[in-house]
Structure 1
Amino acid sequence: MTHAPHEAHAHTHAHDHNHNHDDSHDQAELLDLDAEVLAEHTASITAWLPVTAAPRHIVDLGSGTGAGTLALLARFPDAEVTAVDTSTAHLDRLREKAEAAGLADRVRTVQADLDGPDWPDLGTPDLVWASASMHHMADPDRTLRQVHETLAPGGLFAVVELAGFPRFLPEDAPAERPGLEDRAHAALDRHHAEKMPHRGADWGPKLTAAGFAVEGERTITVNIGAPHTEAIGRYALSGLTRMRGGVAELLSPEDLAAYDQLLDTESPRSILRRDDLTVRTERMIWAARR
Structure 2
Amino acid sequence: MAHTHQHTPHPDHHAHGGDGGQAEILDLDAEVLAEHTASLTAWLPLRSAPRRIVDLGCGTGTGTFALLGRFPDAHVTAVDTSPGHLRSLHEKARALGVEGRVRTVAADLDSDRWPDLGTPDLVWASASMHHMADPGRALRSVHARLAPGGLFAVVELAGFPRFLPADAPESRPGLEERAHAATDAFHAEHVPHRGADWGPLLTAAGFTVEAERTLRVDLPGGRGAAIGRYARTSLQRVRAVAASGLAPEDLAALDELLDPDSPNSLLRREDLTVRTERTIWAARRA
TM-score interval for Structure 1 and Structure 2 normalised by the shorter chain: over 0.9
Over the residues paired in the alignment, what is the CA RMSD in angstroms?
Answer: 1.7
Q: 2: distance between equivalents of 1:60 and 1:8?
A: 23
- In structure 1, the residue matched to 2:200 is 205
- In structure 2, the residue matched to 1:165 is 160
Q: 1: distance between equivalents of 2:146 and 2:25?
A: 30
TM-aligned CA distance change 1:13 to 1:151, over 3 Å: closer
TM-aligned CA distance change 1:8 to 1:257, over 3 Å: closer
Per the TM alignment, residue 117 of structure 1 is displaced from its structure 2 partner at its CA by: 3.2
State the TM-score, normalized to the length of structure 1.
0.93
Which stretches in structure 2 are left out of the alignment for 5+ residues? 4-9
Q: 2: distance between equivalents of 1:227 and 1:202?
A: 33
Q: 1: distance between equivalents of 2:157 and 2:176?
A: 17
SS in 2 for 1:143: helix
SS in 2 for 1:118: coil
CA contact (8 A) 1:228 1:278 kept: no
- In structure 2, the residue matched to 1:62 is 57
Q: 2: distance between equivalents of 1:152 and 1:285?
A: 20
2:104 is the counterpart of 1:101: no
- In structure 2, the residue matched to 1:31 is 26
- In structure 1, the residue matched to 2:187 is 192
CA contact (8 A) 1:10 1:243 kept: no
Q: 2: distance between equivalents of 1:52 and 1:107?
A: 23
SS in 1 for 2:202: helix
2:284 is the counterpart of 1:289: yes
User: Which range is displaced more, 91-100 or 135-144?
Assistant: 91-100
Q: 2: distance between equivalents of 1:205 and 1:82?
A: 27
2:251 is the counterpart of 1:279: no
Per the TM alignment, residue 11 of structure 1 is displaced from its structure 2 partner at its CA by: 4.8
- In structure 2, the residue matched to 1:9 is 12
Q: 2: distance between equivalents of 1:217 and 1:179?
A: 32
State the TM-score, normalized to the length of structure 2.
0.94
**CA offsets, 1:53-80, max 9 Å, x none?**
1111000000000000000000010000
Per the TM alignment, residue 274 of structure 1 is displaced from its structure 2 partner at its CA by: 0.6
Per the TM alignment, residue 276 of structure 1 is displaced from its structure 2 partner at its CA by: 0.6
2:75 is the counterpart of 1:41: no
2:139 is the counterpart of 1:149: no
SS in 2 for 1:177: coil
Per the TM alignment, residue 9 of structure 1 is displaced from its structure 2 partner at its CA by: 3.4
SS in 2 for 1:272: coil
**CA offsets, 1:87-109, max 9 Å, x none?**
00000001111111111110000
CA contact (8 A) 1:82 1:107 kept: yes
Per the TM alignment, residue 8 of structure 1 is displaced from its structure 2 partner at its CA by: 8.5
- In structure 1, the residue matched to 2:219 is 224
| Paired letter, 2:99 | A
Sequence identity percentage? 71
Work out the number of aligned pairs and report it.
Answer: 279
CA contact (8 A) 1:86 1:111 kept: yes
TM-aligned CA distance change 1:37 to 1:178, over 3 Å: same
CA contact (8 A) 2:16 2:81 kept: no
| Paired letter, 1:48 | W
TM-aligned CA distance change 1:190 to 1:112, over 3 Å: same
User: Which range is displaced more, 185-194 or 198-207?
Assistant: 185-194
CA contact (8 A) 2:221 2:228 kept: no
2:255 is the counterpart of 1:252: no
CA contact (8 A) 1:2 1:63 kept: no
2:79 is the counterpart of 1:79: no
- The match for 2:126 among 128, 131, 140 is 131
- In structure 2, the residue matched to 1:92 is 87
Q: 1: distance between equivalents of 2:157 and 2:95?
A: 28
Per the TM alignment, residue 229 of structure 1 is displaced from its structure 2 partner at its CA by: 1.2
Per the TM alignment, residue 255 of structure 1 is displaced from its structure 2 partner at its CA by: 0.6
Per the TM alignment, residue 10 of structure 1 is displaced from its structure 2 partner at its CA by: 1.4
Per the TM alignment, residue 247 of structure 1 is displaced from its structure 2 partner at its CA by: 0.7
